[in-house]
Chains A and B, each alone.
Chain A
Amino acid sequence: MKGIEGLKAWQAAIQEQRDPDATWIAVCAGTGCLSQGAADLAAALREALIRHSLEGKVEVKETGCRGFCEQGPLIVIHPEGIFYPQLKAADAERIVSETILRKQVIEDLLYQDPVTGRRHIHEGDIPFYQKQMRLVCRLNGVIDPTHIGDYIVHGGYQAAAKALFEMEPVQIVEEIKRSGLRGRGGGGFPAGVKWESCRNAHGEPKYVICNADAGDPGAFMDRSLLEGNPHSIIEGMIIGAYAIGSHEGYVYVRNEYPLAVRNLQTAIERAEAHNLLGDNILESGFDFHLKINRGGGAFVCGESTALMASIEGRVGEPRAKYVHTVESGLWNKPTNLNNVETWANVPLVIEHGADWFSAIGTETSKGTKVFSLVGHVNNTGLVEVPMGITLREVMFDIGGGVRGGRHFKAVQTGGPSGGTIIVDTTGAARPAEDRDEHERGPALVPESLIDLPVDFESLTEAGSMMGSGGMIVMDETTCMVDVARYFLNFLTEESCGKCTPCREGIRNMLAILERICDGRGQEGDIDLLQEMSDTVADTSLCALGGTAPNPVLSTIRYFRPEYEAHIRDRRCPAGVCTALIEYSINATKCTGCHACFKACPTDAISGEVKAAHVISTAKCVKCGSCLDVCKFDAVVKQ
């Protein structure tokens, strides 16, 4: 196959074969839907089609994540675009006999807006999707990631062909710079500037790397992109490699994400088979080889220098950053590393141009950002929004507000050490990539800041950060001291141990937080935490330690009274810290239904049916099972 013409001819041939009016079913097979039974649903649909002699006529396609995980498993029936959420395998028969065969919409399977009670037929009419701008994720629910033809038919690899045949490498770098595309891995460093530094660096060969470590707990956007549309990442990397002058690339992805590894492997093989990867791509004379490196699952390996050490087969310890990786990275050669989502944006910029891209977003933050909206929010899932949208819009309009009618308390962005903001007003002056780490850090946004626009600068100014894309909503039942303790516990385990401030400092801060949560906090603990925070932040080798104190500092800053309640009153206002709470049963409310008796895992509850029950504090392990099952509000947590 040669050039753009070759690709277009292939695209046309596939289009020819496909009837645009044909009926087909897209079954979301993202991890969220799979955990809710999507595989069984797909199988049931196929069986139903066979029963109605429709096999071969109606295709069932397993696609990547559509984002609305809360409502899984879900399907869309094309070409009409009928959206059915929360299905069970048992619904397959009706779907085939009524919607597929008789073109009837099944009213009770449609999505119902919990606020208005209205039912919606199309995804686009649902509030969850209305304020989104799905560009990077646009094909996620449409293509089968294991079929390259699906990507080709949507214009796949044409941006790469345009770059290879119609643009000079420097022109591409300029275009990316002009677009204002900034790194999506947390650093927010201008991608074009990084590319330029690497392009200009001396040394051969040069490497390009895709950081798909996706180690931030609670953030699964990178993984979803890799699973749902791996070709877009490959295409972005071809363009970047050509611009930089690299012929060898790596995708560093965790072995724990088997579907991502598998789909990417398949995509690479298909691309190679069609001369879209390897030697002489599309007969352009440009060679680019791409390999997968299966990471061993260590949070610190998401850090650029640790990641490179890991690819080299060593223990993933970061190094000091006075030597920049764009000059001396993998095997001491110039190396350009970008995040999954950053790479996935590249074909869009090249296809539509820098002006189109920079028209989206705000002054300094261009394009869209994918967030994993999770925690105590009604519509959990993956959302892609234009930069500059407010947190309120994301959480309430798209997310549908806090679950169970509770009160919003905080939203955590940036992961345990994620979330970086870089304000680069001076432009290209400093070498790429290497400053980002110092300003990384998670932060909690309290309710008072809910109208903040979501872009790099606004969040930084407010003392928060955008981060890599995790957005964890917390309601009033979340204890902020416990959240700080949680993050430090995570970071203690994930610290590589190379430098002392991080290894010992975080551990000792954790010990203080643990004693506060246990009701053994001392006057002065808050000051001590703040003091230690400064030391750990200033003296750690990499950003893992450098930003580790952030969850502590931001919770103290916004939720100090909660710390004081733990220390002075031995009380956990949110009722989370088990040492500080006790369960009991309100005898006047208890109907003696026996539900808690059956639910209690430690036989701590006694009482006859129809008589008030009692909890034995000695046996109670404070698991909360009784509270969950009580329908009469009789279980009291204090």
Chain B
Amino acid sequence: MDIATLDKLCDRYAHERGAIVELLQTIQTEEHYLPRDALERVSANLDIPLSQLYGLATFYRAFSLKPVGKHQVLCCTGTACHVRGAKRVVDHFRRVLGIEIGETTEDGLFSLHTVNCLGACAVAPVAVIDGVCHGEMTAANVEKLVRQYRSRSGE
């Protein structure tokens, strides 16, 4: 997001009460994380202490302070998924990608996160990759999906 867009965004939200979380949501959606310079700009523009912005950014699960990979893997570890073996799916992603939860692969291709419910509990366990939901995940599926996304990126 360039500075002009960011400034426009700030203007839009400046007069709306309590809209700061909404503003951060918009940046997160665009950038997939909250870059420090964007937060600094918002802080200066709206006269909100940077510490307050970081307070919000670290409180809400939706925000990330680190850039994420090209493909975002979200594994559901909600209750329905947990009882149907979500842990094995997560562990398998960790092994196949060689990263821990919250990390990004060195080539910047994948990042791995867990979430608490994706709303597809009926087809648990569930994983979402780049917004596409995959139900009834198994260890075998994990490898297949990772391979698919890898080849899609031409790696």
* CB < 8 Å neighbour of A217 from B24, B79, B95, B96: B79
Which residues of chain A in 549-564 are interfacial with respect to chain B, using CB atoms and an 8 Å cutoff?
A: none
B78 to chain A: closest CB distance in Å? 3
Least CB separation from B13: chain A residue = A313
A31 within 8 A of B: yes
Residues A312 and B121 in contact, CB atoms below 8 Å apart: no
Chain A residues positioned under 8 Å from B19 (CB to CB)? 313
Chain B residues positioned under 8 Å from A316 (CB to CB)? 59-60
B116 within 8 A of A: yes
* Chain A, interface residues (CB within 8 Å), range: 35 or more
Chain A residues positioned under 8 Å from B76 (CB to CB)? 217
Residues B140 and A219 in contact, CB atoms below 8 Å apart: no
The winner among B84, B120, B139 for most chain A CB atoms within 10 A is B120
Which residues of chain A in 32-52 are interfacial with respect to chain B, using CB atoms and an 8 Å cutoff?
A: 32, 34-36
B97 within 8 A of A: no
* CB < 8 Å neighbour of A297 from B22, B60, B85: B60
Residues A496 and B59 in contact, CB atoms below 8 Å apart: yes
7 residue pairs of the A-B complex, CB under 8 angstroms, read A35-B133, A215-B117, A254-B62, A255-B29, A296-B24, A298-B61, A470-B80
Which residues of chain A in 453-479 are interfacial with respect to chain B, using CB atoms and an 8 Å cutoff?
A: 470, 472, 474, 478
Residues of B within 8 A of A (CB): 17-22, 24-25, 28-29, 55-56, 59-63, 76-85, 88, 91-92, 95-96, 115-124, 126, 131, 133-135, 138-140
B25 to chain A: closest CB distance in Å? 5
Chain B residues positioned under 8 Å from A375 (CB to CB)? 79-80, 83-84, 124
Interface string of A387-428 (1 = CB under 8 A from B): 000000000000000000000000010011000000000000
Least CB separation from A256: chain B residue = B62
The winner among B88, B95, B134 for most chain A CB atoms within 10 A is B88
Which residues of chain A in 250-284 are interfacial with respect to chain B, using CB atoms and an 8 Å cutoff?
A: 254-258
Residues B83 and A623 in contact, CB atoms below 8 Å apart: no
Given A217-B117, A255-B25: A623 in contact with B79 (beta carbons within 8 A)? no
Interface string of A470-490 (1 = CB under 8 A from B): 101010001000010011001
Given A35-B133, A218-B78: A380 in contact with B121 (beta carbons within 8 A)? yes
Least CB separation from A300: chain B residue = B59
Chain A residues positioned under 8 Å from B61 (CB to CB)? 296-298
Considering the chains assembled together, what is the distance between the CA atoms of A440 and B24 in angstroms?
A: 32
B87 to chain A: closest CB distance in Å? 9
* CB < 8 Å neighbour of B117 from A69, A216, A295, A313: A216
Considering the chains assembled together, what is the distance between the CA atoms of A483 and B83 in angstroms?
A: 8
B93 to chain A: closest CB distance in Å? 11
Considering the chains assembled together, what is the distance between the CA atoms of A442 and B62 in angstroms?
A: 25
B50 to chain A: closest CB distance in Å? 15
Given A217-B80, A624-B88: A255 in contact with B62 (beta carbons within 8 A)? yes
Considering the chains assembled together, what is the distance between the CA atoms of A487 and B77 in angstroms?
A: 11
Residues B56 and A315 in contact, CB atoms below 8 Å apart: yes
Given A32-B135, A217-B117, A296-B60: A376 in contact with B83 (beta carbons within 8 A)? yes
A299 within 8 A of B: yes
Chain B residues positioned under 8 Å from A296 (CB to CB)? 21, 24-25, 56, 59-63
- A-B contacts besides A294-B25, A380-B122, A602-B95, 15 pairs, CB < 8 Å: A32-B122, A32-B135, A217-B121, A218-B78, A219-B121, A293-B22, A298-B60, A372-B122, A374-B80, A374-B121, A375-B124, A382-B122, A623-B92, A625-B139, A625-B140
Chain A residues positioned under 8 Å from B95 (CB to CB)? 601-602, 621
* CB < 8 Å neighbour of A601 from B22, B55, B121, B139: B139
The winner among B21, B55, B95, B96 for most chain A CB atoms within 10 A is B21
Given A297-B62, A313-B19: A218 in contact with B79 (beta carbons within 8 A)? yes
A522 to chain B: closest CB distance in Å? 25
Residues B117 and A218 in contact, CB atoms below 8 Å apart: yes
Considering the chains assembled together, what is the distance between the CA atoms of A36 and B19 in angstroms?
A: 36
Residues B59 and A256 in contact, CB atoms below 8 Å apart: no
Considering the chains assembled together, what is the distance between the CA atoms of A224 and B118 in angstroms?
A: 11
Residues A486 and B82 in contact, CB atoms below 8 Å apart: yes
Residues B133 and A34 in contact, CB atoms below 8 Å apart: yes
* CB < 8 Å neighbour of B123 from A69, A478, A496, A601: A69
The 9 closest A-B pairs by CB, nearest first: A296-B60, A217-B78, A69-B122, A35-B133, A313-B18, A218-B79, A380-B122, A218-B80, A374-B80
Considering the chains assembled together, what is the distance between the CA atoms of A474 and B77 in angstroms?
A: 16
* CB < 8 Å neighbour of A623 from B21, B91, B116, B121: B91
Which residues of chain A in 575-630 are interfacial with respect to chain B, using CB atoms and an 8 Å cutoff?
A: 599, 601-602, 621, 623-625, 628
Chain B residues positioned under 8 Å from A351 (CB to CB)? none
Least CB separation from A623: chain B residue = B88
Chain B residues positioned under 8 Å from A373 (CB to CB)? 122
Considering the chains assembled together, what is the distance between the CA atoms of A331 and B18 in angstroms?
A: 10
Chain A residues positioned under 8 Å from B91 (CB to CB)? 621, 623
Chain B residues positioned under 8 Å from A229 (CB to CB)? none
Residues B120 and A31 in contact, CB atoms below 8 Å apart: yes
Which residues of chain A in 57-105 are interfacial with respect to chain B, using CB atoms and an 8 Å cutoff?
A: 69-70, 72
* CB < 8 Å neighbour of B84 from A34, A376, A625: A376
Residues A313 and B116 in contact, CB atoms below 8 Å apart: no
Least CB separation from A294: chain B residue = B25
Chain A residues positioned under 8 Å from B82 (CB to CB)? 217, 486
